Amino acid sequence: MALLQPAICILDETDSGLDIDALKVVADGVNALRSPDRSFVVITHYQRLLDHIVPDIVHVLSDGRIVRTGGPELALDLEKNGYAAYVADAAA
């Protein structure tokens, strides 16, 4: 990523299977590459990664659509309450 200098980086569950130290190495790498002309889309299951890579915007994807958009606090809410509310919304 650092070599190719992409404009937009999609990280697809890059945190899965990583221990806490490795997670931090990856997150530090991503943070070092943050710049005003580079964007990131971080796809993740866990809020933990977002403690290290603090996002500007958090989206909830459910049943093929973005059903909710918010700030970093949305990720914390999900961690606490799960996806149940959003899955129900999508089904309704």
Give the residues lining the site for another protein (CB under 8 A): 1-4, 6-14, 16-17, 25, 28-29, 32, 34-45, 47, 50, 53-66, 75, 78, 83, 86-87
Residue with tokens 């799960």: 82
> In the complex, what is the shortest distance from the CB of residue 9 to another protein, in angstroms, rounded to a whole number?
5
Nearer to another protein, 3 or 20 (CB): 3
Nearer to another protein, 32 or 92 (CB): 32
Burial of 32 (0-12, 13-18, 19+ CB in 10 A): exposed
- What is d(CA 47, CA 79) in angstroms, rounded to the nearest whole number? 6
Residues 6+ apart with CB under 8 A from 1: 9, 29, 33
Shortest distance in whole angstroms from residue 23 CB to another protein: 13
